[in-house]
Structure 1
Amino acid sequence: MIVRDLATAEQSNRRIVSPDGNWESTRMLLKDDNMGFSFHMTTIYKGADFGMHYQNHLESVYCVSGEGEIETLADGKVYPIKAGTLYVLDKHDKHVLRAFEELKLACVFNPPLNGKEVHNAEGAYELNADTVSA
C-alpha cells in the first residue's frame, strides 16, 4: 500500500514549480510507484494564460476549486472550468489554459511522469525526465 500526505509532499522534492511562473505541481504518485499512471495536485496561478501540447502523454484533469477556461486550438472551442469540471486531453489536444482565479486541479497522466518534468518549448513533457526520489 502507498500512503502519502499532500502537506508533507508539498514540503519535499515532489513539489515542482514551473520556470515560467504559471503553475506548481505536487507529484503524489509517479512512474516509480508502478501503478501505470501518475497523480498530481496542481495549482495554476491566477492570471496564467499559456499553451500546452502533451504529445507524449494523455491527461485527465478534475477541477477542485477556482475558475478558468481551456481552449482547444484545433477547433477554437473554449470550455469553462470551475469546481466539479473534468476535462480529458484524450487526443493529445493542443490547448491553452487560462486561470481567471487560482485553479486547484487533480491531474492523472498516462504514461506516468517521472517527477521532475516541466513543459518543453512545445508545451509537452518529455518521456525521459529525471526521477524524483522518494
Structure 2
Amino acid sequence: MLKTTVSQEDDDAQVSCSNLTACLLAFISLQHVPTSISDADQDGSEQEEARFLLEVTRAQRLVHSIEQELAKAKLKENIALGELYKFRAEEAEQRLEIVEFELGCMHNSMRNSTVALDDEPSDRKRRRTSLSSVF
C-alpha cells in the first residue's frame, strides 16, 4: 500500500492516500483555492448543503432504526397474540370434550331409561296376552 503525504502551503493540510489516483485527486482538490468571492460563496453553500444532507441522512438512519424497533415490537406482539389464541383454543377444545362427554352420558341415560319404559309396557302386554290366552 502506497502512503503519500501532500501538503498545501496555506493551511498545511495533510492527506493520506491509499493509491496513486487518490493521491492525485487529493492533491488537485487541495490546490483548488477560491479565486473570487463567488467561488468562496459556492464552497460555503456546498458545505452548508453537505451539512443539511448529513442531517437528512442521520434523520433517515434514526427513522430506519425506529422502524426496525417497531417491526421487532410488532413481531413480539404477534407471537404473544398467537400464544394467547392457542391457549384459548386449547381451553375451548377441553370444554368441548367435556360437553361432548356429558352429552354422551345424557344420551345414554335417556336411551336406557326410554328402553326400560318401553320394555315395561310391552312386558305387561305380553303377560296380559299370555294370561288371556291361557284362560
Specify the TM-score bucket, using the shorter chain as the normaliser. Answer: under 0.3
- Higher share in strand: 1
- TM-score, structure 1 length as denominator? 0.15
Who wins on radius of gyration, i.e. which is larger?
A: 2
Of structures 1 and 2, the one scoring higher in RCO (CA 8 A, sep 6+) is 1
TM-score by length of 2: 0.15
Higher helix share: 2
